[in-house]
Amino acid sequence: MSAEIDYYELLEVSRDADDGVLKSSYRKLAMKYHPDRNPGDAEAEARFKQISEAYDCLKDPQKRAAYDRYGHAAYQQGGAGAGGGGFQGGADFGDFGDIFESIFGNAFGGGGGRQQARRGADLRYDLEIGLEDAFHGKTVEVEVDVAVGCDPCKGSGAEPGTGKRRCNMCGGHGKVRAQQGFFMVERTCPTCHGRGEVIDKPCKSCRGEGRVEQRKKLEVAIPKGVDDGNRIRLQGKGEAGPAGTPAGDLYIFLHLRRHPVFDRDGTTLLTRAHISFTTAALGGQIEIPGMDGQKHVIDIPAGIQTGKQLRKRGAGMPVLNGRGIGDLVVEVAVETPTKLTTRQKELLREFQANETGEQCPESKGFFDRLKEVWNDLTE
Enumerate the known binding-site residues.
150, 153, 167, 170, 189, 192, 203, 206
- Binding site listing for Zn(2+): 150, 153, 167, 170, 189, 192, 203, 206
Sign of CA dihedral 217, 221, 226, 232: negative
CB 125 within 8 A of CB 254: no
CB 159 within 8 A of CB 210: no
Q: What is the signed CA dihedral for 49, 52, 53, 57, rounded to 10 degrees?
A: 180
Q: Give residue 3's identity as a one-letter amino acid code.
A: A
Q: What is the DSSP string of 32-82?
A: HH-TTTSTT-HHHHHHHHHHHHHHHHHTSHHHHHHHHHHGGGGGSTT-TTT
CB 92 within 8 A of CB 182: no
- Taking Cα atoms as reference points, which of 337, 191, 329 lies closest to residue 270? 329
- For residue 22, the SS3 value is helix
**Exposed, middle or buried, 100 (CB in 10 Å: 0-12/13-18/19+)?**
middle
- Taking Cα atoms as reference points, which of 100, 94, 105, 84 lies closest to residue 173? 84
Q: Give residue 118's identity as a one-letter amino acid code.
A: R
- For residue 97, the SS3 value is helix
CB 11 within 8 A of CB 51: yes
Cα separation, 93 vs 100, in Å, equals 10
